[in-house]
Structure 1
Amino acid sequence: MEMNKETEKPASLDPLLQWSQWQLLDSILPTGGFAHSFGLEAAIQVRIVTGPEDLQTFIIHVLENTASLLLPFVYSATLLPEMENWHRLDRMLNAMLTNEVGRKASISQGSALMRVAASVFSENPSLKTMREACLGSGIVSFHHAPIFGLVCGLVGLDSTTSQRAYMFVTMRDVISAATRLNLVGPLGAAVLQHRIAPVAEAILAKWMDRDVEESCQRAPLLDTVQGCHGYLFTRLFCS
Protein backbone atom coordinates (compact mmCIF):
# COMPACT_ATOMS: atom_id res chain seq x y z
CA MET A 1 0.00 0.00 0.00
CA GLU A 2 1.44 3.35 -1.01
CA MET A 3 2.01 6.01 1.63
CA ASN A 4 1.08 9.67 1.59
CA LYS A 5 4.41 11.32 2.45
CA GLU A 6 2.89 14.46 4.00
CA THR A 7 0.61 12.67 6.47
CA GLU A 8 2.50 9.35 6.67
CA LYS A 9 -0.83 7.55 6.36
CA PRO A 10 -1.79 4.96 3.78
CA ALA A 11 -2.90 6.79 0.63
CA SER A 12 -6.16 4.81 0.60
CA LEU A 13 -7.03 6.31 4.01
CA ASP A 14 -6.53 9.92 2.90
CA PRO A 15 -10.04 11.47 3.16
CA LEU A 16 -9.59 13.85 0.23
CA LEU A 17 -8.19 11.07 -1.92
CA GLN A 18 -11.24 8.93 -1.18
CA TRP A 19 -13.57 11.68 -2.41
CA SER A 20 -11.68 11.76 -5.74
CA GLN A 21 -11.60 7.98 -5.88
CA TRP A 22 -15.34 7.65 -5.37
CA GLN A 23 -16.11 10.38 -7.88
CA LEU A 24 -13.96 8.69 -10.50
CA LEU A 25 -16.09 5.54 -10.10
CA ASP A 26 -19.43 7.33 -9.79
CA SER A 27 -21.89 6.54 -12.56
CA ILE A 28 -22.85 10.22 -12.67
CA LEU A 29 -19.42 11.10 -14.10
CA PRO A 30 -20.23 11.72 -17.80
CA THR A 31 -17.57 9.55 -19.42
CA GLY A 32 -19.87 7.75 -21.87
CA GLY A 33 -19.40 4.22 -20.54
CA PHE A 34 -23.13 3.53 -20.49
CA ALA A 35 -23.34 4.07 -24.27
CA HIS A 36 -21.47 0.80 -24.80
CA SER A 37 -22.46 -2.82 -24.15
CA PHE A 38 -18.98 -4.35 -24.66
CA GLY A 39 -20.41 -6.60 -27.36
CA LEU A 40 -23.35 -7.81 -25.24
CA GLU A 41 -25.99 -6.47 -27.62
CA ALA A 42 -24.45 -8.33 -30.56
CA ALA A 43 -24.01 -11.46 -28.43
CA ILE A 44 -27.75 -11.43 -27.66
CA GLN A 45 -28.72 -11.09 -31.31
CA VAL A 46 -26.47 -13.97 -32.40
CA ARG A 47 -27.85 -16.08 -29.52
CA ILE A 48 -24.60 -16.47 -27.62
CA VAL A 49 -26.35 -14.91 -24.62
CA THR A 50 -29.94 -15.99 -24.12
CA GLY A 51 -30.51 -15.73 -20.36
CA PRO A 52 -29.06 -14.97 -16.91
CA GLU A 53 -26.68 -17.95 -16.88
CA ASP A 54 -25.20 -17.04 -20.25
CA LEU A 55 -25.00 -13.43 -19.08
CA GLN A 56 -22.86 -14.34 -16.06
CA THR A 57 -20.50 -16.35 -18.26
CA PHE A 58 -20.31 -13.48 -20.76
CA ILE A 59 -19.45 -10.94 -18.07
CA ILE A 60 -16.71 -13.16 -16.65
CA HIS A 61 -15.20 -13.53 -20.13
CA VAL A 62 -15.36 -9.75 -20.64
CA LEU A 63 -13.54 -9.29 -17.34
CA GLU A 64 -10.88 -11.81 -18.37
CA ASN A 65 -10.34 -9.98 -21.66
CA THR A 66 -10.20 -6.66 -19.82
CA ALA A 67 -7.69 -7.95 -17.30
CA SER A 68 -5.37 -9.69 -19.75
CA LEU A 69 -5.42 -7.02 -22.45
CA LEU A 70 -6.08 -3.67 -20.77
CA LEU A 71 -4.94 -3.87 -17.14
CA PRO A 72 -1.25 -3.69 -18.14
CA PHE A 73 -1.94 -0.31 -19.76
CA VAL A 74 -3.78 0.95 -16.68
CA TYR A 75 -0.96 -0.28 -14.47
CA SER A 76 1.84 1.24 -16.54
CA ALA A 77 0.08 4.60 -16.88
CA THR A 78 -0.62 4.77 -13.14
CA LEU A 79 3.00 4.07 -12.24
CA LEU A 80 4.32 6.77 -14.58
CA PRO A 81 1.58 9.37 -15.25
CA GLU A 82 3.61 11.46 -17.68
CA MET A 83 2.91 12.60 -21.23
CA GLU A 84 5.69 10.65 -22.93
CA ASN A 85 4.66 7.38 -21.29
CA TRP A 86 0.99 8.04 -22.03
CA HIS A 87 1.79 8.60 -25.73
CA ARG A 88 3.79 5.37 -25.87
CA LEU A 89 1.01 3.33 -24.26
CA ASP A 90 -1.66 4.90 -26.46
CA ARG A 91 0.23 4.01 -29.64
CA MET A 92 0.77 0.43 -28.48
CA LEU A 93 -2.88 -0.10 -27.60
CA ASN A 94 -4.04 1.45 -30.86
CA ALA A 95 -1.95 -1.13 -32.72
CA MET A 96 -3.26 -4.02 -30.59
CA LEU A 97 -6.99 -3.27 -30.91
CA THR A 98 -7.81 -4.90 -34.24
CA ASN A 99 -11.57 -4.84 -33.60
CA GLU A 100 -12.73 -1.57 -35.18
CA VAL A 101 -15.86 -1.33 -33.02
CA GLY A 102 -13.88 -1.87 -29.83
CA ARG A 103 -11.19 0.57 -30.91
CA LYS A 104 -13.72 3.34 -31.60
CA ALA A 105 -15.41 2.66 -28.26
CA SER A 106 -12.06 2.90 -26.46
CA ILE A 107 -11.27 6.22 -28.14
CA SER A 108 -14.73 7.60 -27.45
CA GLN A 109 -14.65 6.74 -23.74
CA GLY A 110 -11.03 7.82 -23.35
CA SER A 111 -11.64 11.20 -24.96
CA ALA A 112 -14.66 11.76 -22.72
CA LEU A 113 -12.76 10.74 -19.58
CA MET A 114 -9.85 13.06 -20.40
CA ARG A 115 -12.22 15.98 -21.02
CA VAL A 116 -14.13 15.39 -17.78
CA ALA A 117 -11.01 14.77 -15.68
CA ALA A 118 -9.34 17.94 -16.95
CA SER A 119 -12.39 19.94 -15.84
CA VAL A 120 -13.20 18.14 -12.59
CA PHE A 121 -9.73 17.56 -11.13
CA SER A 122 -8.55 21.12 -11.72
CA GLU A 123 -6.07 20.82 -8.86
CA ASN A 124 -4.01 18.78 -11.33
CA PRO A 125 -3.35 21.33 -14.12
CA SER A 126 -1.19 18.81 -15.97
CA LEU A 127 -4.37 16.99 -17.08
CA LYS A 128 -5.65 20.08 -18.87
CA THR A 129 -2.19 20.86 -20.22
CA MET A 130 -1.73 17.39 -21.67
CA ARG A 131 -5.21 17.33 -23.18
CA GLU A 132 -4.84 20.74 -24.84
CA ALA A 133 -1.39 19.85 -26.16
CA CYS A 134 -2.73 16.74 -27.90
CA LEU A 135 -6.17 17.81 -29.13
CA GLY A 136 -6.30 17.77 -32.92
CA SER A 137 -2.60 16.98 -33.19
CA GLY A 138 -2.99 13.33 -34.18
CA ILE A 139 -0.25 12.40 -31.71
CA VAL A 140 -2.53 10.22 -29.60
CA SER A 141 -5.87 8.49 -30.11
CA PHE A 142 -7.04 8.98 -26.49
CA HIS A 143 -7.64 5.30 -25.71
CA HIS A 144 -9.50 4.68 -22.47
CA ALA A 145 -7.25 2.31 -20.49
CA PRO A 146 -4.07 4.46 -20.58
CA ILE A 147 -6.06 7.59 -19.79
CA PHE A 148 -7.80 5.88 -16.88
CA GLY A 149 -4.41 4.90 -15.46
CA LEU A 150 -3.04 8.37 -16.15
CA VAL A 151 -5.89 10.06 -14.28
CA CYS A 152 -5.65 7.62 -11.39
CA GLY A 153 -1.92 8.25 -11.11
CA LEU A 154 -2.31 12.03 -11.16
CA VAL A 155 -5.08 12.10 -8.53
CA GLY A 156 -2.98 9.93 -6.23
CA LEU A 157 -4.48 6.45 -6.47
CA ASP A 158 -2.09 3.54 -6.03
CA SER A 159 -1.68 1.04 -8.86
CA THR A 160 -3.62 -1.75 -7.15
CA THR A 161 -6.65 0.46 -6.54
CA SER A 162 -6.47 1.77 -10.11
CA GLN A 163 -6.55 -1.72 -11.60
CA ARG A 164 -9.35 -2.88 -9.32
CA ALA A 165 -11.30 0.26 -10.15
CA TYR A 166 -10.96 -0.41 -13.88
CA MET A 167 -12.32 -3.92 -13.42
CA PHE A 168 -15.21 -2.56 -11.35
CA VAL A 169 -16.12 0.08 -13.96
CA THR A 170 -16.11 -2.56 -16.70
CA MET A 171 -18.31 -4.94 -14.71
CA ARG A 172 -20.68 -2.11 -13.74
CA ASP A 173 -21.13 -0.96 -17.33
CA VAL A 174 -21.75 -4.45 -18.75
CA ILE A 175 -24.35 -5.20 -16.09
CA SER A 176 -25.99 -1.83 -16.70
CA ALA A 177 -26.22 -2.70 -20.40
CA ALA A 178 -27.79 -6.06 -19.53
CA THR A 179 -30.43 -4.27 -17.47
CA ARG A 180 -31.37 -1.94 -20.31
CA LEU A 181 -31.48 -4.90 -22.70
CA ASN A 182 -34.00 -6.60 -20.37
CA LEU A 183 -31.77 -9.58 -19.65
CA VAL A 184 -31.99 -8.94 -15.92
CA GLY A 185 -33.94 -6.61 -13.63
CA PRO A 186 -32.39 -3.92 -11.39
CA LEU A 187 -32.49 -6.12 -8.28
CA GLY A 188 -31.18 -9.11 -10.20
CA ALA A 189 -28.39 -6.92 -11.58
CA ALA A 190 -27.30 -5.96 -8.07
CA VAL A 191 -27.33 -9.61 -6.98
CA LEU A 192 -25.34 -10.59 -10.08
CA GLN A 193 -22.74 -7.88 -9.47
CA HIS A 194 -22.25 -9.07 -5.89
CA ARG A 195 -22.00 -12.69 -7.04
CA ILE A 196 -19.38 -11.96 -9.69
CA ALA A 197 -17.22 -9.74 -7.44
CA PRO A 198 -15.14 -12.64 -5.98
CA VAL A 199 -14.52 -13.97 -9.50
CA ALA A 200 -13.47 -10.51 -10.64
CA GLU A 201 -11.05 -10.26 -7.71
CA ALA A 202 -9.52 -13.62 -8.61
CA ILE A 203 -9.09 -12.52 -12.23
CA LEU A 204 -7.52 -9.27 -11.02
CA ALA A 205 -5.07 -11.15 -8.78
CA LYS A 206 -4.02 -13.28 -11.75
CA TRP A 207 -3.40 -10.44 -14.22
CA MET A 208 -2.50 -7.36 -12.19
CA ASP A 209 0.92 -5.65 -12.21
CA ARG A 210 1.95 -6.94 -15.64
CA ASP A 211 3.95 -5.10 -18.28
CA VAL A 212 2.23 -4.12 -21.52
CA GLU A 213 4.42 -6.61 -23.39
CA GLU A 214 2.37 -9.36 -21.69
CA SER A 215 -0.99 -8.07 -22.94
CA CYS A 216 -3.11 -10.66 -24.73
CA GLN A 217 -6.68 -11.69 -25.61
CA ARG A 218 -8.21 -14.38 -23.39
CA ALA A 219 -11.62 -14.60 -25.08
CA PRO A 220 -11.13 -13.80 -28.79
CA LEU A 221 -14.66 -14.93 -29.66
CA LEU A 222 -16.07 -11.96 -27.73
CA ASP A 223 -13.81 -9.63 -29.69
CA THR A 224 -15.17 -11.11 -32.92
CA VAL A 225 -18.77 -10.77 -31.77
CA GLN A 226 -18.28 -7.15 -30.76
CA GLY A 227 -16.88 -6.47 -34.22
CA CYS A 228 -20.26 -7.53 -35.66
CA HIS A 229 -22.09 -4.80 -33.75
CA GLY A 230 -21.95 -2.39 -36.66
CA TYR A 231 -23.85 -4.87 -38.85
CA LEU A 232 -26.85 -5.16 -36.53
CA PHE A 233 -30.10 -4.03 -38.15
CA THR A 234 -31.28 -2.37 -34.95
CA ARG A 235 -29.11 -1.44 -31.99
CA LEU A 236 -29.40 0.49 -28.75
CA PHE A 237 -25.69 0.88 -27.94
CA CYS A 238 -22.69 2.28 -29.79
CA SER A 239 -20.70 -0.91 -29.29
Structure 2
Amino acid sequence: MEGVEEANKNDFKSSQSVSLQQWSQWQLFDSILPTGGFAHSLGLEAAMQARLVVSPEDLKTYVIHLLDNTGSLLLPFVYTATISPDTQTWHKLDRLLNAMLTNEIGRKASTAQGSALMRVSASVFSEIPCLKTMRNAALSSGAVFFHHAPVFGLVCGLLGFDAETTQRAYVFVTMRDVISAATRLNLVGPLGAAVLQHQVAPIAESLSTKWMNRDAGEACQTCPLLDTVQGCHGYLFSRLFCS
Protein backbone atom coordinates (compact mmCIF):
# COMPACT_ATOMS: atom_id res chain seq x y z
CA MET A 1 0.00 0.00 0.00
CA GLU A 2 2.84 2.38 0.81
CA GLY A 3 4.24 1.85 -2.68
CA VAL A 4 0.89 2.65 -4.25
CA GLU A 5 0.52 5.80 -2.15
CA GLU A 6 4.02 6.94 -3.10
CA ALA A 7 3.26 6.34 -6.78
CA ASN A 8 0.03 8.33 -6.49
CA LYS A 9 1.91 11.20 -4.85
CA ASN A 10 4.49 11.18 -7.64
CA ASP A 11 1.74 11.16 -10.27
CA PHE A 12 0.03 14.10 -8.55
CA LYS A 13 3.28 16.08 -8.39
CA SER A 14 3.96 15.34 -12.05
CA SER A 15 0.44 16.43 -13.01
CA GLN A 16 0.79 19.58 -10.91
CA SER A 17 4.12 20.38 -12.58
CA VAL A 18 2.59 20.03 -16.05
CA SER A 19 -0.32 22.26 -15.04
CA LEU A 20 2.01 24.96 -13.71
CA GLN A 21 4.04 24.76 -16.91
CA GLN A 22 0.89 25.44 -18.92
CA TRP A 23 0.26 28.64 -16.97
CA SER A 24 3.72 29.86 -17.99
CA GLN A 25 3.10 28.84 -21.60
CA TRP A 26 -0.20 30.71 -21.74
CA GLN A 27 1.38 33.81 -20.23
CA LEU A 28 3.89 33.95 -23.06
CA PHE A 29 1.06 34.66 -25.53
CA ASP A 30 -0.90 37.00 -23.28
CA SER A 31 -1.22 40.46 -24.80
CA ILE A 32 -0.44 41.96 -21.40
CA LEU A 33 3.15 40.64 -21.56
CA PRO A 34 5.20 43.82 -22.22
CA THR A 35 7.17 42.77 -25.30
CA GLY A 36 6.31 45.82 -27.42
CA GLY A 37 4.54 43.94 -30.21
CA PHE A 38 1.63 46.38 -30.32
CA ALA A 39 3.99 49.27 -31.12
CA HIS A 40 4.46 47.81 -34.60
CA SER A 41 1.98 47.58 -37.47
CA LEU A 42 4.12 45.12 -39.50
CA GLY A 43 4.07 47.50 -42.46
CA LEU A 44 0.29 48.01 -42.42
CA GLU A 45 0.46 51.73 -41.61
CA ALA A 46 2.75 52.37 -44.57
CA ALA A 47 0.57 50.19 -46.81
CA MET A 48 -2.50 52.20 -45.79
CA GLN A 49 -0.82 55.54 -46.52
CA ALA A 50 0.39 54.18 -49.86
CA ARG A 51 -3.26 53.32 -50.63
CA LEU A 52 -2.50 49.63 -50.96
CA VAL A 53 -4.97 48.92 -48.15
CA VAL A 54 -8.13 51.01 -48.30
CA SER A 55 -10.98 48.53 -47.71
CA PRO A 56 -11.76 45.55 -45.46
CA GLU A 57 -11.10 43.24 -48.39
CA ASP A 58 -7.69 44.85 -48.94
CA LEU A 59 -6.96 44.38 -45.25
CA LYS A 60 -7.84 40.69 -45.38
CA THR A 61 -5.59 40.22 -48.42
CA TYR A 62 -2.76 42.06 -46.65
CA VAL A 63 -3.08 39.91 -43.54
CA ILE A 64 -3.00 36.71 -45.60
CA HIS A 65 0.07 37.80 -47.54
CA LEU A 66 1.77 38.86 -44.30
CA LEU A 67 1.13 35.46 -42.73
CA ASP A 68 2.43 33.72 -45.85
CA ASN A 69 5.60 35.79 -45.74
CA THR A 70 5.95 35.18 -42.00
CA GLY A 71 5.66 31.44 -42.60
CA SER A 72 8.19 31.32 -45.41
CA LEU A 73 10.77 33.68 -43.87
CA LEU A 74 10.46 33.43 -40.09
CA LEU A 75 8.95 30.05 -39.18
CA PRO A 76 12.18 28.22 -40.14
CA PHE A 77 14.03 30.30 -37.54
CA VAL A 78 11.34 29.68 -34.94
CA TYR A 79 11.39 25.94 -35.67
CA THR A 80 15.16 25.53 -35.54
CA ALA A 81 15.45 27.49 -32.30
CA THR A 82 12.64 25.48 -30.70
CA ILE A 83 14.12 22.07 -31.42
CA SER A 84 17.62 23.22 -30.39
CA PRO A 85 17.15 25.81 -27.62
CA ASP A 86 20.82 26.36 -26.88
CA THR A 87 23.21 29.31 -27.04
CA GLN A 88 25.17 28.21 -30.09
CA THR A 89 22.07 27.62 -32.25
CA TRP A 90 20.45 30.84 -31.10
CA HIS A 91 23.50 32.96 -31.96
CA LYS A 92 23.86 31.31 -35.37
CA LEU A 93 20.19 31.89 -36.22
CA ASP A 94 20.36 35.46 -34.96
CA ARG A 95 23.27 36.32 -37.26
CA LEU A 96 21.67 34.58 -40.24
CA LEU A 97 18.35 36.37 -39.84
CA ASN A 98 20.09 39.72 -39.46
CA ALA A 99 21.73 39.13 -42.83
CA MET A 100 18.45 38.06 -44.46
CA LEU A 101 16.23 40.95 -43.34
CA THR A 102 16.56 43.41 -46.19
CA ASN A 103 14.99 46.61 -44.87
CA GLU A 104 16.18 48.64 -41.91
CA ILE A 105 12.70 49.23 -40.47
CA GLY A 106 11.89 45.52 -40.34
CA ARG A 107 15.31 44.73 -38.91
CA LYS A 108 14.94 47.29 -36.11
CA ALA A 109 11.41 46.09 -35.32
CA SER A 110 12.64 42.50 -35.08
CA THR A 111 15.50 43.35 -32.72
CA ALA A 112 13.34 45.65 -30.58
CA GLN A 113 10.68 42.99 -30.06
CA GLY A 114 13.19 40.18 -29.63
CA SER A 115 15.22 42.12 -27.08
CA ALA A 116 12.05 42.96 -25.14
CA LEU A 117 10.85 39.34 -25.23
CA MET A 118 14.20 38.06 -23.97
CA ARG A 119 14.31 40.66 -21.19
CA VAL A 120 10.76 39.91 -20.05
CA SER A 121 11.22 36.14 -20.29
CA ALA A 122 14.45 36.22 -18.27
CA SER A 123 12.65 38.19 -15.54
CA VAL A 124 9.29 36.40 -15.52
CA PHE A 125 10.23 32.76 -16.08
CA SER A 126 12.69 32.52 -13.21
CA GLU A 127 12.24 28.74 -13.11
CA ILE A 128 14.43 28.68 -16.25
CA PRO A 129 17.63 30.36 -14.98
CA CYS A 130 19.52 29.74 -18.22
CA LEU A 131 17.39 32.44 -19.91
CA LYS A 132 18.92 35.10 -17.68
CA THR A 133 22.38 33.58 -18.07
CA MET A 134 22.07 33.51 -21.87
CA ARG A 135 20.77 37.08 -22.00
CA ASN A 136 23.52 38.44 -19.75
CA ALA A 137 26.21 36.67 -21.75
CA ALA A 138 24.76 37.99 -25.01
CA LEU A 139 24.62 41.55 -23.68
CA SER A 140 28.20 41.29 -22.45
CA SER A 141 29.49 40.05 -25.78
CA GLY A 142 27.63 42.68 -27.78
CA ALA A 143 27.54 40.26 -30.71
CA VAL A 144 23.86 39.31 -30.53
CA PHE A 145 21.10 41.28 -32.30
CA PHE A 146 18.20 39.62 -30.40
CA HIS A 147 15.98 39.08 -33.45
CA HIS A 148 12.44 38.16 -32.48
CA ALA A 149 11.86 34.86 -34.31
CA PRO A 150 14.91 33.02 -32.90
CA VAL A 151 14.24 34.40 -29.39
CA PHE A 152 10.59 33.30 -29.63
CA GLY A 153 11.61 29.78 -30.62
CA LEU A 154 14.29 29.66 -27.94
CA VAL A 155 11.92 30.71 -25.14
CA CYS A 156 9.16 28.36 -26.31
CA GLY A 157 11.61 25.47 -26.52
CA LEU A 158 12.83 26.09 -22.98
CA LEU A 159 9.24 26.39 -21.74
CA GLY A 160 8.49 22.93 -23.08
CA PHE A 161 6.47 23.73 -26.19
CA ASP A 162 6.61 21.25 -29.06
CA ALA A 163 7.76 22.61 -32.42
CA GLU A 164 4.35 22.50 -34.13
CA THR A 165 2.59 24.40 -31.34
CA THR A 166 5.36 27.00 -31.26
CA GLN A 167 5.13 27.64 -34.99
CA ARG A 168 1.34 27.97 -34.90
CA ALA A 169 1.69 30.32 -31.93
CA TYR A 170 4.10 32.53 -33.85
CA VAL A 171 1.68 32.82 -36.76
CA PHE A 172 -1.16 33.52 -34.31
CA VAL A 173 0.79 36.29 -32.56
CA THR A 174 1.59 37.87 -35.93
CA MET A 175 -2.08 37.74 -36.97
CA ARG A 176 -3.18 39.14 -33.62
CA ASP A 177 -0.74 42.05 -33.78
CA VAL A 178 -1.50 43.15 -37.35
CA ILE A 179 -5.28 42.99 -36.80
CA SER A 180 -4.86 44.97 -33.58
CA ALA A 181 -2.92 47.57 -35.57
CA ALA A 182 -5.73 47.68 -38.14
CA THR A 183 -8.19 48.45 -35.35
CA ARG A 184 -6.12 51.36 -34.05
CA LEU A 185 -5.71 52.66 -37.62
CA ASN A 186 -9.52 52.65 -37.95
CA LEU A 187 -9.41 50.23 -40.86
CA VAL A 188 -11.81 47.96 -39.00
CA GLY A 189 -13.81 48.13 -35.77
CA PRO A 190 -13.25 45.84 -32.76
CA LEU A 191 -16.12 43.52 -33.72
CA GLY A 192 -15.02 43.48 -37.35
CA ALA A 193 -11.47 42.69 -36.21
CA ALA A 194 -12.71 39.68 -34.24
CA VAL A 195 -14.71 38.48 -37.24
CA LEU A 196 -11.71 38.95 -39.53
CA GLN A 197 -9.43 37.01 -37.20
CA HIS A 198 -11.90 34.12 -37.14
CA GLN A 199 -12.22 34.16 -40.93
CA VAL A 200 -8.46 34.16 -41.47
CA ALA A 201 -7.79 31.42 -38.89
CA PRO A 202 -8.31 28.48 -41.32
CA ILE A 203 -5.99 30.17 -43.84
CA ALA A 204 -3.45 30.77 -41.08
CA GLU A 205 -3.57 27.07 -40.22
CA SER A 206 -3.08 26.14 -43.87
CA LEU A 207 -0.10 28.48 -44.20
CA SER A 208 1.39 27.24 -40.92
CA THR A 209 1.18 23.67 -42.17
CA LYS A 210 2.63 24.68 -45.54
CA TRP A 211 5.78 26.25 -44.07
CA MET A 212 6.10 24.16 -40.91
CA ASN A 213 9.21 22.22 -39.83
CA ARG A 214 11.65 23.73 -42.30
CA ASP A 215 15.30 24.39 -41.56
CA ALA A 216 16.52 27.99 -41.40
CA GLY A 217 18.45 27.37 -44.61
CA GLU A 218 15.11 27.13 -46.45
CA ALA A 219 13.87 30.56 -45.32
CA CYS A 220 12.75 32.84 -48.15
CA GLN A 221 10.58 35.84 -49.03
CA THR A 222 7.27 35.09 -50.78
CA CYS A 223 5.83 38.63 -50.75
CA PRO A 224 8.67 41.10 -51.43
CA LEU A 225 6.16 43.94 -51.91
CA LEU A 226 5.39 43.80 -48.18
CA ASP A 227 9.09 44.15 -47.41
CA THR A 228 9.32 47.17 -49.73
CA VAL A 229 6.27 48.84 -48.20
CA GLN A 230 7.53 48.32 -44.65
CA GLY A 231 10.84 49.88 -45.64
CA CYS A 232 8.97 53.08 -46.54
CA HIS A 233 7.59 53.48 -43.03
CA GLY A 234 10.42 55.75 -41.97
CA TYR A 235 9.51 58.22 -44.71
CA LEU A 236 5.90 58.72 -43.59
CA PHE A 237 5.10 62.32 -42.67
CA SER A 238 3.02 61.24 -39.69
CA ARG A 239 2.87 57.80 -38.10
CA LEU A 240 1.31 56.06 -35.14
CA PHE A 241 3.52 52.95 -35.08
CA CYS A 242 7.25 52.29 -34.97
CA SER A 243 7.11 50.05 -38.04
1:33-60 alpha-carbon deviations (Å, 9 max, x no partner):
0000000000000000001000000000
Match of 1:49 among 42, 49, 53: 53
Alignment RMSD (CA, Å) = 1.4
C-alpha distance in 2 between matches for 1:167 and 1:47: 25
Asked whether the 8 Å contact 1:17–1:157 carries over to 2, the reply is no
C-alpha distance in 2 between matches for 1:209 and 1:17: 24
Provide the residue aligned with 1:20 in structure 2.
Answer: 24
Match of 1:86 among 74, 86, 90: 90
1:169 equivalenced with 2:203 (yes/no): no
Provide the residue aligned with 1:113 in structure 2.
Answer: 117
Asked whether the 8 Å contact 1:72–1:212 carries over to 2, the reply is yes
Q: Secondary structure at the match of 1:34?
A: helix
Q: After the TM superposition, which segments of 4 or more aligned residues of structure 1 sit over 4 Å from their partners?
A: none
C-alpha distance in 1 between matches for 2:19 and 2:197: 26
1:122-144 alpha-carbon deviations (Å, 9 max, x no partner):
00000000000111522110000
More helix as a share of residues: 2
Provide the residue aligned with 1:210 in structure 2.
Answer: 214
Q: Secondary structure at the match of 2:187?
A: coil
Structure 1 regions of 5+ residues with no counterpart? Answer: 1-5
**Amino acid in structure 2 at the alignment position of 1:23:** Q
Identity of paired residues, percent? 73
Provide the residue aligned with 2:78 in structure 1.
Answer: 74
Structure 2 regions of 5+ residues with no counterpart? Answer: 1-9
Mapping for residues 138-217 of structure 1, pairs under 5 Å: 138-217=142-221
C-alpha distance in 1 between matches for 2:19 and 2:213: 25
C-alpha distance in 1 between matches for 2:39 and 2:185: 12
1:135 equivalenced with 2:139 (yes/no): yes
C-alpha distance in 2 between matches for 1:78 and 1:192: 29
C-alpha distance in 1 between matches for 2:20 and 2:193: 30
Provide the residue aligned with 1:225 in structure 2.
Answer: 229
C-alpha distance in 1 between matches for 2:230 and 2:102: 11
Provide the residue aligned with 1:29 in structure 2.
Answer: 33
Aligned residues: 230
**Amino acid in structure 2 at the alignment position of 1:205:** T
C-alpha distance in 2 between matches for 1:215 and 1:17: 31
Provide the residue aligned with 2:3 in structure 1.
Answer: none
Provide the residue aligned with 1:123 in structure 2.
Answer: 127
1:119-178 alpha-carbon deviations (Å, 9 max, x no partner):
010000000000001115221100000000000000111101100000000000000000
Q: Secondary structure at the match of 1:216?
A: coil
How high is the TM-score relative to the length of structure 1?
0.94
Provide the residue aligned with 2:4 in structure 1.
Answer: none
C-alpha distance in 2 between matches for 1:146 and 1:52: 32
